[in-house]
Amino acid sequence: MLSDKFNKKYGNFGFRLDAMGIGDNIIKLKGELPEGVELVAVSKTYPSEDILEAYEAGQRVFGESRPQEMKAKHGELPGDIRWHMIGHLQTNKVKYIAPFVELVHSVDSDRLLAEIDRQAVRCGRTIDVLLEVHIAREESKHGWDAEELKAYMAAGSAAAYGNVRLRGLMGIATYTEDAEQVRGEFTRLRELFDRFCANGCGPRFDTLSMGMTGDYRLAVECGSNMVRIGSLIFGERDYA
Ligand SMILES: *Cc1c(COP(=O)(O)O)cnc(C)c1O
């Protein structure tokens, strides 16, 4: 059952989550997203059975925000699932996910990038990462300040890390009903992404991760090619 709080928060999508299964939600979303936009099904806090339901509907990319939870689920679910770390990552926890993670969306410091590189070397692999940019009004959200990141990229320091590959940018917009505010934030991130692409970040710098349940349509309009969607697929999360 959907709570009033959920309906108020996300509005009416024209289909009722409680009347459809997780697999139907996946199929519906995939049908709606334009070609070239990758769906990351955000499964944090949901049990492995829910992930399997999405898997059986064809979903292969899942996003988690806690390293130990991701490691545990990776251990018990099919091996062809591609795991994305989307939440704030502490350096001392990189080791849990380094052997298998496909993409880390939330790299917010040189220190974290260095540790991902170190763990990637240890595992004999290369790990793809996105740099998280702080675009929201809220102060609590993580990520690089855009000016800081421009300076960091211009300095080329990341090139020293041979086992990480910079694949693009990620951002979380302000949680608000003000669509123009959100559009402005996504647009600024898109412009930053374009600027880095133009400055020769290489052919693999191709991923712009923005958009969640409440704002993914706006994000896609603004040029996102990777959306991270949880509650619209799995139902409202219970953090308690
Ligand atoms: C939880 C989370 C999401 C998914 O949020 P929904 O609103 O449930 O779609 C997306 N991105 C990040 C970084 C998250 O932590």
pLDDT in tens, 12-55: 454 444 446 999 999 999 999 999 999 999 999 999 999 999 99
Q: Give the type of residue at 198.
A: A
Over the chain, what is the mean pLDDT? 91
What's the gap in Å between 135 CA and the centre of ligand 1?
15
DSSP 3-state of 132 = strand
Contact (Cβ atoms closer than 8 angstroms) between residue 97 and residue 73: no
Cα–Cα distance between 97 and 154 in angstroms, integer?
Answer: 29
Nearest to 136 by CA among 167, 96, 179, 171: 171
When pLDDT is averaged across residues 185-194 and rounded to a whole number, the result is 98
More confident residue, 137 or 33: 33
Burial (0-12, 13-18, 19+ Cβ within 10 Å), 200? exposed
Cα–Cα distance between 87 and 67 in angstroms, integer?
Answer: 9
62 C-beta neighbours (distance < 10 Å), count: 25
173 C-beta closer than 6 A to ligand 1: no
Q: Which residue's alpha carbon is nearest to atom 12 within ligand 1?
A: 86
Of the chain, the percentage scoring pLDDT greater than 70 comes to 90
pLDDT of residue 15: 47
Nearest to 197 by CA among 168, 157, 227, 156: 168
Alpha helices (runs of H) in 39-174, residue ranges in sequence order: 48-56, 67-76, 94-97, 110-123, 146-155
pLDDT of residue 239: 66
b/e string for 36-53 if b means 16 or more Cβ within 10 A? ebbbbbbbbbbeeebbbb
Place of tokens 């459809």: 20
What's the gap in Å between 6 CA and the centre of ligand 1?
14
b/e string for 97-123 if b means 16 or more Cβ within 10 A? bbebbebbbbbbbeebbbbbbbbbbee
pLDDT of residue 8: 44
85 C-beta closer than 6 A to ligand 1: no
41 C-beta closer than 6 A to ligand 1: no
Helix (H) or strand (E) segment spanning residue 202: none
Prediction pTM value: 0.91
25 C-beta closer than 6 A to ligand 1: no
DSSP 3-state of 212 = coil
For a mutational test of ligand 1's pocket, the pick from 64, 65, 212, i.e. the residue with the most ligand atoms closer than 8 A to its C-beta, is 212
What's the gap in Å between 157 CA and the centre of ligand 1?
30
What's the gap in Å between 160 CA and the centre of ligand 1?
31
